[in-house]
Amino acid sequence: MASIFSCVVRSTSTAGISAWRTNLSSVNRMIHKSPVTKANRVPCGCRRNLSTESPKLPQMPPEPGEGKSPVTWKSVGITLGLGGVFLAGMVYWKSIKDAAIEKEKVKTIGKASLGGEWELVDSTGKVRTDKDFHGQWILLYFGFTHCPDVCPEELEKIVEAVDLIDERKDIPNLQPIFITVDPERDTPKAVAEYIAEFSPKLIGMTGSVAQIEKVTRAFRVFFSAGPKDDDNDYIVDHSIITYLVGPDGYFVNYYGQNKKAHEIANDVRVQMAKFKM
């Protein structure tokens, strides 16, 4: 009886296990063969979204003017225009300031080094001072009437330069003045006869020894009388320089013996154009 029961149990157990294995194999085949669809997928509330893309946020409408650059061609043009006006104003005022400084510098040099007040006698015997010629442009030359060659050559050159200036109607006339460095012999009459040989425009000046010394010292003119010969004649060594004096009475420029008439005239025109009272 016991053997029969054990056979039955063994048989039943073996049969059950075999049937269970058969059913498991069938289930596996169904799982692998059936596609996963919405119909057979088991819903799960804990399923994670495995996508790597970030969620898209709703876009806001742009603000008025947003996306436009604040710098435009119009604003650039206005900025450059204002900058140009400002720069031009600075240059203009700087030029005025520099001109004023330069004028004061020239005046200071004229007062300290060249020129100044003087009083002389002209070829008619009239007393003249530097103030009589204020408002005029002057070419001033120092010499003497017994000069054999240098003085006549320089005076002819000065007269030619004056004529070149006077031909121009758009600029002031130029007054030539001859001042002797030999007051002992150059009387007003002698000076009058001498300057008549060159031009009626030329004004001749003489004076006492003290007056001549003062004016030559003011313009730093060197002169020295040489020894007298048997006829009581002598030569006076002196500076060969022509001075340009402006309408305000101050020294402006000077010209040496090597300057030609047209060069003097050209520079005088330049100085006249630059001059401001």
Distance CA 221, CA 215 (A): 8
Q: What is the pLDDT of residue 124?
A: 96
Q: What is the pLDDT of residue 68?
A: 57
On the 0-12 / 13-18 / 19+ scale of CB atoms within 10 A, 178 is buried
**Count of Cβ atoms closer than 10 Å to residue 259 Cβ:** 16
Three-state secondary-structure class, residue 21: helix
pLDDT digits (tens, 9 = 90+) for 143-159: 999 999 999 999 999 99
CA distances, 14 to each of 10, 25, 146 (Å): 6, 17, 167
Q: Which residues of 61-80 are buried (b: 16+ CB within 10 A; e: fewer)?
A: eeeeeeeeeeeeeeeeeeee
Contact status, residue 254 vs residue 153, Cβ threshold 8 Å: no
Q: What is the pLDDT of residue 90?
A: 74
Q: What is the pLDDT of residue 156?
A: 97
Query: Tell me, what DSSP letter sits at residue 209?
Result: H
Q: What is the CATH number of domain 119-274?
A: 3.40.30.10
Residues 6+ apart with CB under 8 A from 250: 106, 107, 110, 111, 115
Residue numbers in the known binding site are 147, 151, 238
Domain boundaries, the chain: 119-274
Residues of the chain with pLDDT under 70: 1-71, 89, 91-113, 277
Distance CA 132, CA 117 (A): 11
Contact status, residue 251 vs residue 110, Cβ threshold 8 Å: yes
CA-nearest of 248, 33, 19, 238 to 130 is 248
Distance CA 175, CA 237 (A): 25
Q: What is the pLDDT of residue 6?
A: 45
Distance CA 179, CA 205 (A): 5
% helix, strand, coil for the chain, step of 5: 45, 15, 40
Q: What is the pLDDT of residue 42?
A: 47
CA-nearest of 175, 110, 111, 86 to 137 is 175
Residue numbers in the known binding site for Cu cation are 147, 151, 238
Contact status, residue 205 vs residue 191, Cβ threshold 8 Å: yes
Q: What is the pLDDT of residue 77?
A: 75
- Helix H or strand E encompassing 196: none
Q: What is the pLDDT of residue 63?
A: 58
Distance CA 139, CA 166 (A): 13
**Count of Cβ atoms closer than 10 Å to residue 275 Cβ:** 16
236 has which bridge partners?
225
Q: What is the pLDDT of residue 2?
A: 44
- Number of helices and strands in the chain (H, E): 6, 9
